[in-house]
Amino acid sequence: MTGTHITYAHVLNGPDKGRAITEEEMRHVLKDDTLGWVHIDGNHPDAEAWIGEHLDYLDPQAVEALVDRASRPRLTRLGDGLMIILRAINFNEGADPEDMISLRIWADAHRIVTVSLRRVRAIERLDARLSLGEGPETTGAFLVTLIEDLTGKIGDFQTDLDAKAEALEEQIIAESGDHLRGEVVNLRLQVIAARRFLGPQRDVIRAIAESDNPVIDAETHREIEEEALKMTRIVEDLDELRDQAMILREELSGQLSDRLNRNMFVMSVVSVIFLPLGFLTGLFGVNVGGMPGVNDGDAFYWLVGWLSLLVGILVFFLWRVRWIRFSRRRR
């Protein structure tokens, strides 16, 4: 490509099917009856100007949506074309998968324009297939191929979250630890972030399947409807995962509460035993006249004996009211 803002450009049908073309060729293909596809790097400084100059024949709303940096999944029919915004799992290095990438698509019978701000692996795989001459030849087939790829990777991500939740549940049952709280919180954040976009994306895919646009033929309807059903199951599973994460958090909170209650109980038992002892030893330690046993050489031993007896009485009392128990060792 002569312009780095154009990442990929291919002819999709005719004798040159799958051939990668230059920017100059793409300008002509986008305006004639040959079906062409161009993918544009939305972060490039020339991208917005190029779209405004060479796609000015599109509906202004479509042009605006292609360059809009803040977008949620949606479908808009403009004339004979479809303006589609979808989200893709983020597989870029150092990124969180749930930080999903916005993919904007203009599709009509003669041209397909896609724009993203970051690398989209589904677009890269589509380019590789077209280069091998194995890619779609119609707009409907292009949409099916792209949506199938996006939905498949979203399903893999949801499966990974399921496995993570099951592993956390086993750990929480087997052990208790503060480190698990952070993992549960991270799981909840991942589910919430993904659910934020995948709910609208499910609705968009269903709307595409139900569209009466000319580029959506009967076979395309059927295949995209299948992807809509898959996305519905994914969203339902994410809702269940969100509930499961809430239950896991409540279980951890219950474990923490039980641990605090046990500690408070131990402190209560210790207090019942040692508060009377502390009172008596403090009382007999008062350095004033008239204290009993001051002139008796055995008074200290008497005091220790009476205190030991008091401890025994208190322990017996706590045992009777079942505050403490003595376990018997089994032979």
Domain 6-253 is found in CATH 3.10.150.10 = no
**pLDDT value of residue 26:** 83
**pLDDT value of residue 2:** 43
**pLDDT value of residue 75:** 93
Per-residue confidence at 295, pLDDT binned at 50, 70, 90? low
What is d(CA 79, CA 215) in angstroms, rounded to the nearest whole number?
A: 12
> Taking the model in full, what pTM does it have?
0.76
Mean pLDDT of 287-293: 63
**CA quadruple 130, 136, 139, 140: dihedral positive or negative?**
negative
**pLDDT value of residue 142:** 94
Q: Is residue 141's pLDDT more than 80?
A: yes
Q: Taking a C-beta distance cutoff of 8 angstroms, is the pair 48, 16 a contact?
A: no
The residue with greater pLDDT, 290 or 156, is: 156
Give the other-Cβ count within 10 Å of 162's Cβ: 15
- Between the alpha carbon of residue 301 and those of residues 187, 290, 307, the distances in Å are 63, 19, 10
3-state DSSP helix/strand/coil % of the chain, to nearest 5: 60, 10, 30
Measuring CA to CA, which residue among 86, 91, 125, 92 is closest to residue 105? 86
- The residue ranges of every structural domain in the chain are 6-253
**pLDDT value of residue 326:** 66
